Amino acid sequence: MKNNETSRPDAMPAGRVRKIATEEACSIPEVAAALRDVARRGGESLDLKLVGGLYDVEESARSELLTRLLDIDTLRLKAMDDHQVDMQLLGLTAPGVQMFEPGLAADLARLANDRLAEAVRRHPTRFAALATFAPQDPATAVREMERAIKVLKLRGFIINSHTNNEYLDQQKYWPILEAAEALGAPLYIHPRAPSDGMAAPFRDYRLEAAVWGYGMEVGTHVVRLMMSGALDQFEKLRVVIGHMGEAVPFWLWRLDYMGNPARGRSPQKLLPSEYFRRNFAITTSGVEDELALRYCIDRIGIDNVMWAIDYPYQPTAPAAQWIDAAPLTREEREKLCHRNAERIFGIAAA
């Protein structure tokens, strides 16, 4: 194709709305190999079910899913072109580096961030990326967070919920929250399977995964951040969560009633819904339900909702067709599909 003005993906025909997909997964061979080693060591973690199935396989038996996770330039761009997805916001897929010992985790986080930055440099109009860090050692994590934003120009961070069964409201992790806030960079809390302490009922029927466990894990993480008062320290921190808000928007009324600080049960200053509107944004990843979308827009505001696919775990075509057909005003559609992502992640307007 001739690379003239009109063939540029961001030079779209009048009427078409730019689409930035905001929770899009990838990996690199070094992380995939380290996850294979984690699977072979075994243990209690519920994530080992998915990690073993995906990464502990012979090269020749590599799944379509793993092939797509490791690809940037070929299958991914083709899926985007075929369905008029202008840009993917990339992130290292779950569980990121959070199951590795701290030294390896920090090394692989740096390597993954370098690779993501290279992908963005190769295709600056098609990809932006979120940085990974290793929360196992918060001080090292903060140094990598600073490098990722200031040197690599990545657009925010992605963490896969708990780390060694611990959550970000714990004070030892506050330097991470402080750094994200100071850098003005959002922190995407992506799912992983429920932590060991809440694992038992999720061990059957693969309930630990995207069908139910992932949402319960991240929803619990988000409620901890709100009810602990951690967000009273970081008023400008922006947390992003996927899957139409991991059910939290539907719980806001009850959270406010039962979690009102005036009841004296929890130390936070504000109502949960006040934190949710001030500190959070959600994406639609993997929830193509127009009733849920309308509820979320009306409940938390159109400025706090972004479109996502969840590539390659979800197919691109139905996600794109769903948002194109969703009953939205022109302004709502623009905000959902690109303007909110541009504002929240600092992505250049096309």
Q: Which of 313, 326, 336, 342 binds ligand 1WB (CB under 6 A)?
A: 313
Identify the residue among 154, 210, 248, 326 touching ligand 1WB (CB under 6 A): 210
169 phi, psi to nearest 5 deg: -70, -20
Residue 222 engages ligand 1WB in binding (rule: CB under 6 A): no
Contacts to ligand 1WB from residues 276-305, by CB under 6 A: 286
Residue 86 contact, options ligand 1WB, Mn ion, none, Cβ 5-8 Å cut-off depending on partner type:
none
CB atoms within 10 A of CB 76: 25
Return the structure tokens found at 277.
């509107």
Of the candidates 47, 86, 169, 310, the residue annotated as catalytic is 310
Binding of residue 219 to ligand 1WB (CB under 6 A): no
Helices (H), the chain: 29-41, 47-55, 64-70, 75-82, 102-122, 138-150, 174-183, 213-227, 230-233, 243-246, 248-258, 272-279, 290-300, 316-325, 330-334, 340-345
Q: Pick from 21, 94, 141, 248: which binds ligand 1WB (CB under 6 A)?
A: 94
Q: Using the rule CB under 5 A, is 310 a contact of Mn ion?
A: yes
Q: How many Å from the N-terminal Cα to the C-terminal Cα in the chain?
A: 20
> Per CB under 6 A, does 38 bind ligand 1WB?
no
**Residue 310 binding ligand 1WB, by CB under 6 A:** yes
State the Cα–Cα distance between residues 252 and 299, nearest whole angstrom. Answer: 9
Q: Is 37 among the catalytic positions? A: no
Q: How far apart are CA 57 and CA 167, in angstroms?
A: 31
Q: Is 280 in a helix, a strand, or coil? A: strand
DSSP assignment letter at 4: S
Binding-site partner at residue 93 among ligand 1WB, Mn ion, none, CB < 5 to 8 Å by type: ligand 1WB
Which of ligand 1WB, Mn ion, none binds 50 (CB below 5-8 Å, type-dependent)? ligand 1WB
Q: Which residues contact Mn ion (rule: CB under 5 A)?
A: 23, 310
List contacts with ligand 1WB (CB under 6 A). 50, 93-94, 191, 209-210, 286, 310, 313
